Structure 1
Amino acid sequence: MHQPDHIPLHQGERIDDLLTNELKIIQSHEVFCFSMDAVLLARFASVPKRGRVMDLCTGNGAIPLMMSTRSRGVIIEGLEIQPRLYDMARRNVLLNGLEQRIRMHHGDVKQAVTQFGYGQFDLVTCNPPYMPAASGEVNERDHFAIARHEILLTLEDVIRVSSQLLRNGGKVALVHRATRLIDIVTLMRQYKIEPKKMRLVHPRRNTEPNMVLIEGMRGGRPELRIQPPLIVYEQGEEYCEELYQIYYGHRDSLT
């Protein structure tokens, strides 16, 4: 893969290895680095063989980068409201020589339909803020607060806009806290998205799930398939074999 030699790094930034298909990613602890949630969503989502994909709240572009390993025939776009994160995402596309396949945009998810139009996408993904604006301790550093709390964007905003962006039969895939599952399903149906597949993520065996991966189809018929649960840690702090393969040994076959 061609990688430009002179992608500028700003203060506090570093280049990390994404551990898949030789991808690299610019990150900084001064803003919000991608987490396991993003990795799992990028693997869970039904990436089409061709068409257009939109990643809302894309941050530094980790999810589009990882999804690009799964299909050569799609154009993947990302939308980020925070200028610094958008700039990192834009440089990450250049760093990996993927500017012909990934496009980054600066803008507000709530205005996405005005920016992109109705029914333009085959898949929408989102790793949205998890916590209501009034809950928990809101971090004083805006990058973290906006990423974690529904300050600029609510769950309903995400699902409403996703429905508007999708063509009929298109899919939306989300990762969220398991405690919000009923809210997610209720809002999906309210906005004409039928939940089609779901997977719960448990930290360890015999613990409650803390994450849910869920995908719905715009205009789909009722039928939800529940995948086997993912148990993150099997013994101590050691990842389960599936996660180990995703992080360290998985090589996607491009279609």
Structure 2
Amino acid sequence: MTDAQLRVGERIDGLPSQQIKIIQNPDMFSYSLDAVLLAYFAKPKQRGRGLSVDLGAGTGAIGLFYAAKTTGTVKLVELQKDLAEMAARSVALNDLNDRVSVLNSDMQEIFDEIKPGSVDTVLSNPPYFSVNETTKQNLDEHYQLARHEIAIDLPRLAQVANKLLKNNGKFYLVHRPDRLNDIMAALAARKLEIKRIQFVYGKEGREANMVLVEAIKGGRPGGVRILPPIIAYTDNDDYTDQVQEILYGSAWQD
């Protein structure tokens, strides 16, 4: 593994089960459990030999965690220059430059670099919050773009995913359950048929606070599977055995 070149305010976090390390700066943006669970939830096509794209990659966590399950090429697309640069250093830190690369670009303007209809799998942890006149936004630009639908919203994200994917290619998304109607509408309008849904709960007995979605481009309507839930924490605020295994157990297998 290549030595890290950390800058002021940066640290290295990692996912032991996948043996992946991520350079982060908490003052800009840090990945959380939703990134880990999306990478875990996503199932590589053709044993991961094709092209996968992480849209809105941030520091590259999802794409790098997912890359450990694949043998193919992974492209990390990130609009913010600082985060894209950190992601590129994390790629080098994990010795993955031979098959993982970073595009510092608006995801809606990447089609010269990534040919439409060439991608097997698209992953995204997009901004969760819609924007209106009453929306309270974080004053930090990094967090604004990461959390609020300023640069991209669900319909435009679904359109980009549709344009990138091959027929029968898969789109994986993590979002908030209260946006599920918006997710379904955006995907259906762009011929992305939802096939698997898994809810994540902070603790047993509480409402879900996260939803993982798999959709297939041009898939047959119907046949949606609701998977068993993931419970993140015990009553003592420790990770459950299920999440402990995802984070610290054996390398993920599909």
Give the TM bin, normalised by the shorter chain: over 0.9
Segments of 4+ moved more than 4 angstroms: none
The letter for the 2-side match of 1:172 is F
CA distance in 2, matches of 1:205, 1:15: 31
CA distance in 1, matches of 2:186, 2:19: 38
CA distance in 2, matches of 1:102, 1:239: 30
CA distance in 2, matches of 1:62, 1:122: 19
Instruction: Write out per-residue CA displacement over residues 64-86 of structure 1, whole angstroms, 9 at most, x where no aligned residue.
Output: 111122122x1111100000000
Instruction: Write out per-residue CA displacement over residues 16-52 of structure 1, whole angstroms, 9 at most, x where no aligned residue.
Output: 2322343221111111100100000000011221100
The letter for the 1-side match of 2:238 is E
Alignment pair present for 1:224 and 2:221 = no
Gaps of 5+ in 2: none
1:34 to 24, 31, 40: 31
2:208 aligns to what?
209
2:116 to 115, 118, 127: 118
Deviation, 1:114, is 4.2
Alignment pair present for 1:182 and 2:178 = no
CA distance in 2, matches of 1:114, 1:179: 35
CA distance in 1, matches of 2:190, 2:205: 34
CA distance in 1, matches of 2:139, 2:235: 36
Moved more, 46-55 or 113-122: 113-122
| Within-5 A mapping of 1:83-122 | 83-122=81-120
TM-score after normalising by structure 2: 0.94
CA distance in 2, matches of 1:132, 1:213: 18
Percentage of matched positions with identical amino acids = 38
Deviation, 1:136, is 4.0
1:248 aligns to what?
248
Q: Is the 8 A contact 2:174 2:211 kept in 1?
A: yes
CA distance in 1, matches of 2:40, 2:14: 17
CA distance in 2, matches of 1:131, 1:208: 18
Q: Is the 8 A contact 1:112 1:161 kept in 2?
A: no
Gaps of 5+ in 1: none
2:7 aligns to what?
10
TM-score after normalising by structure 1: 0.94
CA distance in 2, matches of 1:97, 1:235: 39
The letter for the 1-side match of 2:198 is R
